[in-house]
Amino acid sequence: FVYICQQLIQSMKVQSTTTQQDDHFLIADYDYKSTNIEKNGDKYIAKPQITNFKFKTDTRIPKVGVMLVGWGGNNGTTLTGGILANKFNITWNSRRGTHQPNFYGSLTQSSVIKIGTCNTEEVFVPFKDVLPMVNPCDIVFGGWDISSLNLADAMGRAQVVDYDLQQKLRPYLEKLVPLPSIYYPDFIAANQGDRADNVIPGNNKLEHLNIIRKNIADFKQQNNLDKVILLWTANTERFCVEDPNVHGTAEKLMKSIESSHPEISASTIFACAACLEGCSFINGSPQNTIVPGVIELAEKAGVFVAGDDFKTGQTKFKTCLVEYLVGAGIKPKAIISYNHLGNNDGKNLSQESCFKSKERSKKTCVDDILESNKVLYPTEEELNIDHTIVIKYCPETGDSKKAMDEYIAEIFLGGRQTFAVYNVCEDSLLAAPLIMDLLLLCELFERIQFSKDSSEFQRFDTVLSWLSYLMKAPKSESGITTINALSRQRAMLENLVKVCAGLTVDDNLRLEVRYG
């Protein structure tokens, strides 16, 4: 069966009158079925409707560069080294034997999508094979860090990757040195000061912006790239004090940068630089980098912004378990989450202002799941469940973050069901493949356009909420509600690529198998 799938992967072609393909574009027609609900007194009137969409995918694969802010950190080094290990098929030994590189933990590279049925057997192919996607091994990496260590030494400092693999990667990584970065000490923990030896001098934020813009332009030109994507995987900053007069529009934001306003964070400067250089920007940390002025800049430049905060271990599980409980008609009443971790991220989060950013993004992740069920939560007051987040820095734990969660739920006749979950999240080993997915999907979505009811083709909204499966506090276009439930987020992504490829969306009725 696996063999058959492999064959199909190589040769999958959609034969349908609703799909057209030439050398450059794949155009798929899709009749989207939805239900319009009207309220009539205390009754809902449901009116099914069909809207025609066309999805046009540019099938030409570009040469892509990625610039990471925080390149010398645990995530930056693990991602770069992990991709190089795959690219050069580097094997290594540990006490458990010889290891082959892989992309486990990557939705695009290691998960599969059902494309249909062959007789009565379901046929699955890798996610990455449904639409033409960039091969992660072809991405050119670059970036900035406030620490000057080359990536080989930075990988040693991170203590994430097995020692033998570190040694084998050294010849590749020691040549990679992060560019000097912008450092605004007020935004990250004071304890980060001792690694900040690679800093662009001065306090002029406009000059900083221009240097970062030049770095991006040079990187693109020197590597002969078709496009560049920027991603923030540097320390969690405190929230900037958002002010419409400072951050509210592109013009006000640029003026605030010109006057070096104290509430312009380093991450916002990077986001602006990305937009002004025509690059999409992804925020992997929880802080409010993507202020309205950044969104307007991105809109004008025709690029995407996405955020906030990678959804890796504990939160991924939370949005899965709570979805299961509420979906089963069981009422979560309390979620108490303890974390302790010993990596540099934990050290930074030990400062209250940075912790507050993380607390916010960890707390909002079940809101929509609870709000959807008015049987369990008929009032606002009941929605206000005990949801407590504790994070402690314990250096000995290193990157093996421990997450201990207690979920207390109300069941039939006033009973209680309690789950105590102990999750050892090898933090950067979970984050690195996820970062890769964010980059690959963002790049793919830059090549997709849609048309509704035969209108002009247009790109997706500037705030790329399609990536919500990968984000702890997914940012959406204004007026669009956020979905946190994990299976809904994944189904959304899967269905989008299927629809763009001209495949049928799966409603799981399996009628062709039951009655085919």
The residues carrying an active-site annotation are: 309, 358, 401, 472
Q: Of 366, 364, 473, whose CA–CA distance to 409 is shortest? A: 366
Q: According to the binding rule CB under 6 A, does residue 393 interact with ligand NAD?
A: no
CA distance 427 to 343: 9
Query: Does the protein bind ligand NAD through residue 75 (CB under 6 A)?
Result: yes
Q: Is 317 exposed, middle or buried (0-12, 13-18, 19+ CB in 10 A)?
A: middle
Q: How far is the CB of 11 from ligand NAD (least distance, A)?
A: 37
**Residue among 104, 82, 87, 86 at smallest CA distance from 155:** 82
CB of 169 to ligand NAD, least distance (A): 17
Looking at residue 416, the DSSP 8-state letter turns out to be: E
Q: 64-69 and 140-144 as β-strands: parallel, antiparallel, unpaired?
A: parallel
Q: Contact letters (x/-) for ligand NAD, 125-144, by CB under 6 A?
A: -------------------x
Q: Does 281 bind ligand NAD (CB under 6 A)?
A: no
- Using CB under 6 A as the binding rule, the residues of this chain from 333 to 372 that contact ligand NAD are 343-345, 348
- Considering only 57, 86, 106, 235, the residue that binds ligand NAD (CB under 6 A) is 235
Q: Closer to ligand NAD at the Cβ: 133 or 149?
A: 149
Residue type, 318: K
Contacts of 444 (CB under 8 A, 6+ apart): 57, 131, 133, 134, 497
Q: Which stretch binds ligand NAD (CB under 6 A): 64-72, 96-104, 214-222, 292-300?
A: 64-72
Strands in 64-69's sheet, in edge-to-edge order, are 140-144, 64-69, 227-232, 280-283, 305-306
Residues constituting the chain: 516
Instruction: Give the residue closest to ligand NAD by C-beta.
Output: 73
> Residue 85, exposed/middle/buried by CB under 10 A (0-12, 13-18, 19+)?
buried
Q: In the set 115, 146, 303, 499, which binds ligand NAD (CB under 6 A)?
A: 146
Q: Which string of x and - marks every residue 243-272 that binds ligand NAD (by CB under 6 A)? A: -----------------------x------
Q: Is 428 in the site for ligand NAD (CB under 6 A)?
A: yes
Nearer to ligand NAD, 159 or 451 (CB): 159
Largest CA distance in the chain: 72
Q: Considering beta carbons, is residue 54 or 401 the nearer one to ligand NAD?
A: 401
427 binds ligand NAD (CB under 6 A): yes
Q: Which of 145, 323, 359, 443 binds ligand NAD (CB under 6 A)?
A: 145
Cα atoms in the 13 Å half-sphere on the side-chain side of 435: 34
Sites of contact with ligand NAD (CB under 6 A): 69-70, 72-75, 144-147, 181-183, 188, 195, 233-236, 266, 284-285, 309-310, 312, 343-345, 348, 427-428, 430-431
